Amino acid sequence: MENILSYSAVELGAAIKAGNTTAVEAMEAVLESIGKKEKEINAYVTVDKERALEKAAQTQKKIEQGELTGALAGVPAAIKDNMCTEGLLTTCSSKILENFVPTYTAEAVLNLEKAGAVVIGKTNMDEFAMGSTTETSAYGVTRNPRNLQYVPGGSSGGSAAAVAAEECFFALGSDTGGSIRQPAGFCGVVGMKPTYGTVSRYGLIAYGSSLDQIGPLAKNVADCAAVLEAITSHDEKDSTSVKRDDTEFMSALVDDVKGMRVGIPRDYFGEGLDSEVRTAVLAAADSLKEKGAVIEEFDLSLVEYAIPTYYTIAAAEASSNLERFDGIKYGYRTPDAEGLGLHNMYKKTRSEGFGAEVKRRIMLGSFVLSSGYYDAYYLKALKVKAMIKKAFDDAFKKYDLILGPIAPTTAPKLGESLSDPLKMYLGDIYTISVNLAGLPAISVPCGEDAKGLPIGMQLIADSFQEKKLIRAAYAYEQSRKERA
């Protein structure tokens, strides 16, 4: 048998179903790979081998008994460490949750388990998903498997790296401003952010609640579709969960984009975009054109306002969402708290427990909501958000999809980004507006730069049009295969 680790998730699922391998063999192979590579890559915060093997054995039994028949039955999966997993440490890559063992499992992870996927462990991330490099983790940086001197992107950098390094068959990430799509692009894997409300947020430790969505990172588009199909559900525990009936996403894996109208925003190809990235992304557009898509340039407008809007809203929500980490109910608490008095206990616990980037955003968020500034900053941002949403609504009257880059450059070197936060934030320019407008988008590898670092292309669709995304991404993926 060829190397099992090179299988895609769907291929592995089929092999297990056919009896060519087992869930346990797959898990053993993954654990061995983790054992070899983790020292260099550090994609995981927590791997519980015993638990993973035990669950794999249980799953194998169910597959043999015919109880589990889905595409992902028996496939080992990695989970970003901001999703609660019962009995398994969940840290958000923060010291403040260094010892937090949830007593319940996030709905999206439960759905995966119902589909037969087996959790390997929890992947590294930027602390509380705040960052674009996975360097703000309290548990060390994750390195890009394609070149260890470079960051994997973030915040779901551990998930992207684990997929790229064959330390799992697919992973779940979360995307608040590009946190699935950008690391997928930097690591050369496929990542997808679904329409807001498609995947339940219950059990996802919130960063920016109105922007957060869970989604897959995988080796190819088919795996992405399979995982999205498994995790999508209408959850009564999440008030923002949307009831959908068009969720057999695998049915959209069709190599046909004839007549599809694809818009390319001129605003995405202006100043600041690396020329190698530009060339690769435009070449990808050409490939779609060759397959019969109608490509057209247009002005999306308001692109430069997305980042300030995003950082105002996300920081404000984060400042409130992270208030619950106070050393009382769970997580880290400063030593000798009793003698400090209540407010000093709060301050010491939080100041010692949170890292610099998290504190920066909490401070900003608390400020923009504070008395006298709410209207000028927060309310203003909500109004611009409405304008940005409208700009997309107008675009989707003309186009089925919007095509552009994921990030202005390929992955930066380790240690280069954090010194200038504002510059780091500017790297999110192409991904952020998608979250503000609640839209689905996918990141697909479309080439490499001269350093051999992956370049990602982004496709954006109107709300609830994931099938269009999957179809176009799949067709493009096929054209790359044909070329290779």
Which positions ≥6 away from 408 have C-beta within 8 Å? 272, 273, 274, 277, 426, 427, 429, 430
- CB-nearer residue toward another protein: 152 or 327: 327
**What are the counts of helices (DSSP H) followed by strands (DSSP E) for the chain?**
15, 11
Instruction: Say if CB 476 and CB 258 are below 8 A apart.
Output: no
Residue 401: closest CA among 276, 259, 271, 287? 259
Smallest gap from Cβ 30 to another protein, in A, equals 26
- CB-nearer residue toward another protein: 186 or 332: 332
- CB-nearer residue toward another protein: 169 or 196: 196
Q: In whole angstroms, give the CA distance from residue 138 to residue 156.
A: 14
- CB-nearer residue toward another protein: 345 or 457: 345
Q: How many other CB atoms sit within 10 Å of the CB of residue 11?
A: 18
Q: In whole angstroms, give the CA distance from residue 277 to residue 429.
A: 14
Which positions ≥6 away from 129 have C-beta within 8 Å? 82, 92, 155, 156, 174, 176, 179, 207, 212
Q: How many other CB atoms sit within 10 Å of the CB of residue 305?
A: 17
Both tokens of 293, joined, read: 């898509």
Beta bridge partners of 294: 261
Instruction: Say if CB 202 and CB 448 are below 8 A apart.
Output: no
Instruction: Say if CB 122 and CB 80 are below 8 A apart.
Output: yes
Smallest gap from Cβ 207 to another protein, in A, equals 11
Q: Residue 357 region, left (φ>0) first, then alpha (ψ -120 to 50), else beta?
A: alpha
- CB-nearer residue toward another protein: 19 or 339: 339
- CB-nearer residue toward another protein: 71 or 302: 302
- CB-nearer residue toward another protein: 62 or 348: 348
- CB-nearer residue toward another protein: 186 or 310: 310
Smallest gap from Cβ 305 to another protein, in A, equals 6
Smallest gap from Cβ 442 to another protein, in A, equals 19
Smallest gap from Cβ 96 to another protein, in A, equals 10
Smallest gap from Cβ 115 to another protein, in A, equals 20
Residue 438: closest CA among 185, 193, 93, 165? 193
Residue 128: closest CA among 161, 109, 156? 156
Residue entry with tokens 């950008």: 182
Smallest gap from Cβ 402 to another protein, in A, equals 17
The C-alpha angle with vertex 16 and arms to 11 and 22, in degrees rounded to 5, equals 130
Instruction: Say if CB 31 and CB 47 are below 8 A apart.
Output: yes
Smallest gap from Cβ 202 to another protein, in A, equals 5
- CB-nearer residue toward another protein: 149 or 374: 374
Q: In whole angstroms, give the CA distance from residue 55 to residue 48.
A: 11
Q: In whole angstroms, give the CA distance from residue 342 to residue 301.
A: 49
Beta strands in 129-205 (DSSP E): 170-175, 190-193
The catalytic residue positions are 80, 155, 179
Which residue intervals of 324-460 are DSSP H helices?
342-353, 356-369, 380-398, 421-426, 432-436
Smallest gap from Cβ 209 to another protein, in A, equals 4
Q: In whole angstroms, give the CA distance from residue 33 to residue 178.
A: 28
Instruction: Say if CB 239 and CB 107 are below 8 A apart.
Output: no
